[in-house]
Structure 1
Amino acid sequence: MNSKLYLPILNNFENLYKSKFNYDVIIQAGDGNDQKEIYVHSIVLSCQSNYFDAALSVNWGEKESGKYIFKKPNISPHIFEIIFRYLYCGKINLDIMDTLDIFKLSIATDELRLNTIFELVKNFLITSRLNEIFELASRDKTYVACKNYCLEIICKEPYYIFGNDKLLSLPAQILETILKRDDLMLDEIEVWNSLIKWAHAQHPTINKDPFKWTMSNLILMKKTLSNFIPLIRFHDITQKKYYEKVIPYENLLSRRLKLEISKFHFVSNIKQIGLLPSRFICKLDSIIINSKFLTLFTGWIDKRNKASKLVSYKFNLILRGSHDGFDAKTFHKNCDYRGATIFIAKIKGMNRIIGGYNPLDWSGNCGYKNSSNSFIFSFENINDININNINRIGRVIEKKYAVYCNTLMGPCFGKFRTYGKNDLTMNFDGIWSSTKSTYPYLNIPRNFEVDDYEVFQIIKKRNKKSISLMK
């Protein structure tokens, strides 16, 4: 079959978008002098976007004369035109776009949950425009937000840079800025290995074996790395890895630094080498828990009943009750079509938190969803995750009743029992309840209110292998 047969179809959709014929959705885009109405078709939006499909199905927007009206003052008409052209006919050319527009497009597609184009735009921004962004930000304040956004992405997903040859051509200023960050989610030995790899790329004629360096080679490499070595958190490199990977290059380290490293390994009360603390391997936007919980949640998600050494998932905050609201409509608006989620709630007047993990999604009004991987949990004391280790987690027993999806209710785990209660539920009136049914008994109060609750979207982090597959 000739693949070019689809081109007339795409052209027809592009013409439909341009003509606005029989449109039934009005997007009021932008604000002030930049405001503009854009006319589109609900059938196309519902087909191409989970965000708009959910919005249209539960009537998030207003409706006048048979037409849906959505107000999006934070997204400019120009950016919406780019998005809709992509949704109608799959056309987008990032190469000819202004860098600031690509930045705004990335923010908008993330908000609208257009994951395919978001990943494309984000990858292009980091791999193709990073040097330009840093150069422009140094003399134009309008690019500073874009620079900070890129740094956030790199720190959360370091293999955009550290997993490929992009690292080798990275300017020293950018690499130094990245290595200064405490939130770079990379094992410290990988930071060291990457730094050595980068240094060799700057001087390709120097022997890869440091034991064969001449004195002039050593002096040149020392000079190249003089600003970088103080940024390495040597206290986070194990003795074994230090022996295997750092000792061969030990002549690059100052005498004082080598003495501090020796003291760290042989004197038990020394916790840190140098001025920089350990990196936050995972940054968490939460007012209920701290990042220490994430290693435990990671282990539980991976079906281990103990904490994981590394946090292999991103925990993206998508709802906070005190900010977004405690009603079921808000829950489904923020959490439907987001894939796997975990919610955490602090019980009112207590130091106790409860929560649950849904590996599927909360979309639809379809009743029960089947899963063997869901669980609920309870911590008696939010300030100490190490006490009361027994019965903190309850994995689903009857998997066909794992979660219950109902647009009139918030997160629901387990089979309904008497009076509309199940294992853990946020009811339509904002009251929470728990009655043992499908999960083990965790001694959660039968009825309770919460001070606050948060929902996090769970996304598997990229690794070197997944990045290489994208090339």
Structure 2
Amino acid sequence: MNDNKFLPKLSQNLLDILNDEEYYDVTIEVGNDPYIKIFHAHMVILHYRSTYLRRMLSTNKKNNDGTLVHIKLSNILPETFQIILSGRISLEEYDTSDIIYVLCAANEFGLKELIVDIQSFLVKTKPDWMESNFNLIYQTSFENDSFLELQKFCTDLTSKEPDKIFKSPNFSSISENLLVSLIQSDNLQMSEIQVWEHVLKWGNCSKS
């Protein structure tokens, strides 16, 4: 008998547990006033799903009197936490800026598979958007070492196609730290005169 045929059913059972409203043992208060939502969840699922939640649960043990564990997460939107909790997300249905927010949340919660999937989706399907919003992508990607695919996208663009950044309509809005990083890149394929012209342009625009 092939045991693998039972795996889809088992996976569905686990998803059903996530949505179960009867046997939950954790309540999670997500968001800030006036937009707060209470989620019901299961400690064992959260423990194995997220390293971040695992740490929180370790400091919020269930009392012997049967009182439920209660966790507060004020730094995340309820919609984003719903995605984190369920593990179900159709990236095509979201605005790219919202996907970036979910990516950062996934990193905070230690969801490595979701981090990889989102980065791959962005690089394959949203390169034009990322070029137009390069400042945001650059800053986000180098906040930590989890976003390696986005880091590679930024590095390749700055070294191989710097004109897409320097001649972008949004060039004047990039941060000073990003500008310095760009002009100090050893692989920058642009003459010193061209670089200097763009730096002057950035300086004049930032003053106006």
What's the TM-score once normalised by structure 2's chain length?
0.67
Q: C-alpha separation between the residues in 2 aligned to 1:46 and 1:100?
A: 29
- Taking the aligned partners of 1:130 and 1:119, their CA distance within structure 2 comes to 16
Q: CA deviation at 1:176?
A: 8.3
Instruction: Show the 5 A alignment for 1:98-177.
Output: 98-125=95-122, 128-132=125-129, 148-154=135-141, 158-163=151-156, 171=164, 173-174=167-168, 177=171
Matched-pair contact (CA < 8 Å) for 1:61–1:70 = no
The answer to whether the 8 A contact 2:26-2:70 is kept is yes
2: CA distance, partners of 1:187 / 1:10: 49
Q: Contact 1:176 / 1:228 at 8 angstroms: preserved in 2? A: no
Q: Higher helix fraction: Structure 1 or Structure 2?
A: 2
- 1:126 to partner: Cα distance: 5.3
Q: Which residue of 2 aligns with 1:230?
A: 196
Aligned ranges 1:358-369 → 2 under 5 Å: none
Match of 1:81? 82
Deviations 1:53-87 (A, max 9, x none): 2221222899994311111122111111111111x
In the other structure, the counterpart of 2:92 is: 95
Q: Is the 8 A contact 1:62 1:70 kept in 2?
A: no
Which structure is larger by alpha-carbon Rg, 1 or 2?
Answer: 1
Q: 1:26 to 1:162 in 2, by over 3 A?
A: same
**Equivalent residue for 1:57?**
58
How far 1:45 moved relative to its partner? 0.7
Deviations 1:229-285 (A, max 9, x none): 4379xxxxxxxxxxxxxxxxxxxxxxxxxxxxxxxxxxxxxxxxx87xxxxxxxxxx
CA shift, 1:98, in A, is: 2.3
Distance 1:77 1:40, change over 3 A: same
Segments of 5+ residues of structure 2 without an aligned counterpart are 201-208
Letter of the aligned partner of 1:84 in structure 2? L
CA RMSD of aligned residues (A): 4.1
For 1:101 and 1:82, the matched residues in 2 are separated by 12
Partners of 1:171 and 1:2 in 2: how far apart?
A: 53
Instruction: Say which structure is richer in strand.
Output: 1
CA distance in 1, matches of 2:64, 2:111: 24
Distance, in Å, in 2 between the alignment partners of 1:69 and 1:11 is 26
Code of the residue aligned with 2:196 in structure 1: it is P
1:182 aligns with 2:184: no
Amino acid at match of 1:21: E
1:74 aligned counterpart, secondary structure:
coil
Q: Is the 8 A contact 1:23 1:40 kept in 2?
A: yes
- 8 Å Cα contact 1:28-1:72 kept in structure 2: yes
Separation in structure 2 between the aligned mates of residue 188 and residue 99 of structure 1, nearest angstrom:
28
Alpha carbons 1:29, 1:71 under 8 Å: kept: yes
Q: Secondary structure at the match of 2:19?
A: helix
Give the direction of change, closer, same or farther, for the CA distance of 1:6–1:152 in structure 2 (3 Å limit).
same
Task: Read off the aligned partner of 2:113 and give its amino acid letter.
Answer: T
Query: Partner letter of residue 152 of structure 1?
Result: Q
1:400-455: CA deviations, max 9, x gaps? xxxxxxxxxxxxxxxxxxxxxxxxxxxxxxxxxxxxxxxxxxxxxxxxxxxxxxxx
SS of match in other structure, 1:59: coil
The aligned runs of 1:236-247 (5 Å cut-off) are: none
Q: How far off its partner does 1:148 sit?
A: 4.3
Matches within 5 A, 1:362-381: none
Q: State how far apart, in whole Å, the 2-side matches of 1:64 and 1:230 are.
A: 69
Normalised TM-score (structure 1): 0.33
The residue identity in structure 1 corresponding to 2:153 is Y
1:203-234 C-alpha deviation (Å, 9 max, x unpaired): xxxxxxxxxxxxxxxxxxxxxx89954379xx
CA contact (8 A) 2:135 2:178 kept: no
2:206 maps to what in 1?
Answer: none
Listed as ranges, the gaps of 5+ residues in structure 1 are 138-146, 196-224, 233-273, 276-471
Q: CA deviation at 1:121?
A: 2.7
Counterparts of 2:65 and 2:33, CA distance in 1? 22
Give runs of ≥4 in structure 1 deviating > 6 Å.
60-64
Structure 1 residue matching 2:84: 3-state secondary structure: helix
Give aligned pairs, total. Answer: 186
